[in-house]
A and B are shown apart, each in its own frame.
Chain A
Amino acid sequence: MIRLPLVLFFSAVLFSAGVYGVLARRNAVLVLMSIELMLNAVNVNLIAFSQALHDLTGQAFALFVIAVAAAEVGIGLAIVILIYRNRETINIDEVNLLKW
């Protein structure tokens, strides 16, 4: 049985990798994937605590998060495809219309 602090440490590393990806990457697909990383880090956390506390709520919640993540990625990829069709790029730095 793996100890809880280790799992939490792994989860934190995973989350940090996701944050780095979201903030630093230029490729929109990679940004989406990084978001997935962050969500999965959260899932790991939820399941770890569920195991440790003998409460199934955490696992159920993780299932919901997976569903939402799937939906989010579906819409996110659709947006990325549309952006590519319109602008022939998926570089986020160039997609900056929402400003003054």
Chain B
Amino acid sequence: MTSPGFAKYAWVVAALPIASAGLTLFFGKRTPGRGWIYGVLTVGAGFVLSLLVLWHFVQGGGVYASSVDWFRVGPLRFEIGQYVDGLTAVMLIVVTTVSLCVHVYSIGYMHGDQRFTWFYVVLSIFTFAMLTVVVSDNLFQLLVGWEIMGICSYLLIGHWWEEHVNSSAAIKAFITTKTGDVPFLFGIFVLVVATGTTNIHQIGELVGAGDLSRGVVSAAALLLFGGAIGKSAQFPLHVWLPDAMQGPTPVSALIHAATMVAAGVYLVGRLFEVFVHADPWVLQVVGIVGGITALGAALLGLVQDDIKRVLAYSTISQLAYMVSLMSAGPAGRNAAFFHLFTHAFFKALLFLGSGAVIHAVHSNNMSEMGGLRKPMPITFWTFVIGSAALAGIPPLAGFWSKDELLASASKGHEVVFVVLLLTALVTAFYTTRMVMLTFFGEYRGHGHPHEAPASMTGPLVALAAGTVGVGFLGASFAHAVFFKWVFFEEPEAIRFVPWVAALSTGAALLGVLVGVAVYGRARERDPMLAMGPFTTLLVRKYFMDDLYMKGIVLPVRDKVSAFVYWTNQNVLDGIVNGAARLARWFSRGVNGFDRTVVDGAVNGVAQTAGFTGGLLRYLQSGNVQRYAALLFAGVVVLAVIFTRV
């Protein structure tokens, strides 16, 4: 094992943004530019440090782990620690890159926003939380970061909370992901109770050694997957992600496309040992959920008018790619992580590009866009690069990772393979539709759109360069270096499978060609919206929102709320009122006691003293001779007493 080098400073990458959050919170409003500088500088420093950490693994360095005690509960030790391997390094790169781009981009996008500084505070806290999850070496710390991300997501979706739809979306996102967090929490309990440690690596070893019963491992895996479903917006908890697009677009890029939603996938991959050693049907469940989500969400992307919702569904669909490939074992896991890596680049690029468009036309709807390729050339070209990567056109990043996914699925997971191939076709089609509706044809909106400022186009160009470049890290002719960093148990040789590549490229090109053919000329009505019941099904999102509303939300709201209200009015208020009444009754008793017994005693003493004094005062006559007489009498008495003794 080589010296840890910069790997031991991975925790600093995570610590930097929280420092930035503090600085921005306390000094942001007094800083020129209202405080973006702290976030940009610290996240930029974090990015550089991440590169150095990765360099350690490029040189073939080994895993580095360290931790300090946090607190103890009985026999359980809770630690704060870091576990740095190639996967951690890659994730650090992803998070800091996207976060840096978003921090810079938001300078322009959020310019003049009334809560500009607060926005940067939450962005930094979010970055901190995601990095905490990534470097964490134990489940407890991971959970803390996980939940902080949930809070930040809630805060940022509802950033413009003055509009009811935004705050509703924030609540929906929070509650939906929380629904997944409950099983996640219980999954952690199961693992911690079964293994007696919170350390992820130790849990992996114990599970790998076969010390735990299969049932326990399977239960833990399923419960953990519940958390991943919530966070990564997989069926049936995917409904929050499209609504989360109500937040500012940079947030969508950072949280709801590139990083936070990837945390679910990361969790499954990080605890992959648990999934591998569970019953085989657990991984099948993972594959089925991923498959349903991949195709289902891609189809929903066909009918959206809101450009960000198209991207949201494509995000769900792409995340489902990764999830479904987890079911294909270690090779699938590594391919999924490669896709996570490339996807972060091009999805962040697409979101930021859509943000630039929205910034220009002041609308999210593609029906009010069109023809933007002339006024916004930089946005157009970067967006096209991102779209092509999403569609899987070689030689862009998306092609290599998708190819890797399909290649690993082709070995024994034919159903997943077919579903993913179909999804690739649909993806290419709706991506083309989005590009055509946005950038080609006639402008259908109001005003004169103009190119975004440099602070926004800069990140676009940077991410576009990344989108072009990072794919080669996993290309077999470039020795597939990515898979030398990220592997499960043993590095595997990556083989380029020509027929898979041909098939996926074919599907992508077919999708693009159909898209161009359909949307190449202006139409009165979007063909996607003229397919009768099929369109209805998609526009109503498979009726899932209606189902949740009528099946869960309304009953809960009407019945449970009524019950809670009744309980509150009668039981809780009754208890409170009863306590008050009891207190009054008791006080009255105490009052009476105080007035009669205590005061009586005090007054009685005084009155007795007064009465006695009144009697005794007659002795005090002022007549000196009487005093003298009494004195002599006393002397006589004493004399008698003493002489008799």
Whether B620 and A22, one on each chain, are in contact in the complex, defined by CB atoms closer than 8 angstroms, is: no
Chain A residues near B617 (CB, 8 Å)?
100
B622 to chain A, nearest CB (A): 3
Task: Check B624 against A92 for contact (C-beta < 8 Å).
Answer: yes
Residue B628 at the A interface, CB < 8 A? yes
Q: Out of A23, A24, A99, which one reaches B622, CB within 8 Å?
A: A99
| Contact yes or no, B622 A97, CB < 8 A | yes
Question: Across the interface, do B628 and A98 meet the contact criterion of CB distance under 8 Å?
Answer: no
Determine the distance from Cα of A97 to Cα of B632 in the docked complex, in whole angstroms: 22
Q: Is A33 an interface residue (CB 8 A)?
A: no
In the complex, what distance in Å separates the CA atom of A99 from the CA atom of B628?
15
Please give, as numbers and ranges, the residues of chain A lying within 8 Å of B643 by CB-CB distance.
none
Q: Is A17 part of the binding interface, using a Cβ–Cβ cutoff of 8 Å? A: no
Closest to B618 in A: A100
When the two chains form their complex, are residues A92 and B625 in contact, meaning their CB atoms are under 8 A apart? yes
Given contacts A19-B632, A23-B629, A23-B632, contact A95 B624 (CB under 8 A): yes
**In chain A, residues 42-61, which have Cβ atoms closer than 8 Å to a Cβ of chain B?**
none
Q: Are B622 and A96 in contact (CB under 8 A)?
A: yes
B621 within 8 A of A: yes
Question: Does A93 sit within 8 A of B, measured CB to CB?
Answer: yes
Contact residues, B600-645 vs A (CB, 8 A): 617, 620-625, 628-629, 632
What is the distance, in angstroms, from B191's C-beta to the closest C-beta of chain A? 92
B146 to chain A, nearest CB (A): 88
Give chain A's interface residue range (CB within 8 Å of chain B).
Answer: 10 to 19
Contacts of A95 in B (CB 8 A): 624
B624 partner residues in chain A, CB cutoff 8 A: 92, 95-96
B629 engages A99 (CB within 8 Å): no
Cα of A96 to Cα of B621 in the assembled complex, Å: 7
In the complex, chain B residues whose CB is within 8 Å of the CB of A24: 625
Taking CB atoms, residues of chain B closer than 8 Å to A97 are: 622
**CB nearest to A28 among chain B residues:** B624
Residues of A near B621 (CB, < 8 A) are 96, 99
Q: Report B402 CB to chain A, min CB distance, Å.
A: 115
Residues of B within 8 A of A23 (CB): 625, 628-629, 632
Q: Which of B620, B623, B625, B629 contacts A100 (CB 8 A)?
A: B620
A97 to B, closest residue via Cβ: B622
B residues near A93, Cβ cutoff 8 Å: 623, 625
Nearest to A25 among chain B residues (CB) is B625
For window 61-100 of A, CB contacts with B under 8 Å fall at 92-93, 95-100
Can you add 14 more A-B contacts, CB < 8 Å, to A19-B632, A23-B625, A96-B624?
A22-B628, A23-B632, A24-B625, A92-B625, A93-B625, A95-B624, A96-B621, A96-B622, A96-B623, A99-B620, A99-B621, A99-B623, A100-B617, A100-B620
Q: Which 8 A-B pairs have the closest CB atoms?
A: A99-B622, A96-B622, A100-B617, A100-B620, A99-B620, A98-B622, A96-B623, A23-B629
B residues with CB within 8 A of A: 617, 620-625, 628-629, 632
